[in-house]
Amino acid sequence: MDDTTDELIEIFARTTDRNKMEVLFREIFTANEINTLSLRWQLLKDLYEGKTQRKIAAEHKISLCKITRGSKILKTRGSYLKKILDELYQSRKPS
């Protein structure tokens, strides 16, 4: 990655306060960019939950290409996103 990308990653990594992160998102991203990120996250969660790609495409009115990319990421050995989702869903299980 280039220096600018590395710098942004460092800024996001240093921002540990939720409210400050929200401000940072609103200042650096447009509303449309935030919606795109949120949609990407939602389709990853839908895939993780076992919904079919066609069902996700119909529900969110998006192309199968976007969903296929997410599916490949979740199937990749050592996927960090898969680990995050494993932890998220594990924490949601009733005790």
Which CATH number do you get for residue 57? 1.10.1270
Mean pLDDT of 79-92: 94
Given pLDDT bands bounded at 50, 70 and 90, which one contains residue 92? confident
Structure confidence at residue 95 (pLDDT): 61
For the stretch 29-40, pLDDT in tens is: 999 999 999 999
The structural domain count of the chain equals 1
Quick: pLDDT tens for 19-28.
999 999 999 9
Residue type, position 11, single letter = I
Cβ distance 43 to 60 under 8 Å? yes
Residue with more model confidence, 91 or 21: 21
Identify the domain containing residue 22 by its residue range. Answer: 3-91
Euclidean distance between CA atoms 93 and 95, whole angstroms: 6
From residue 75, give the alpha-carbon distance in Å to each of 34, 40, 62, 80, 81. Answer: 25, 16, 20, 11, 10
Look up the pTM and report it: 0.87
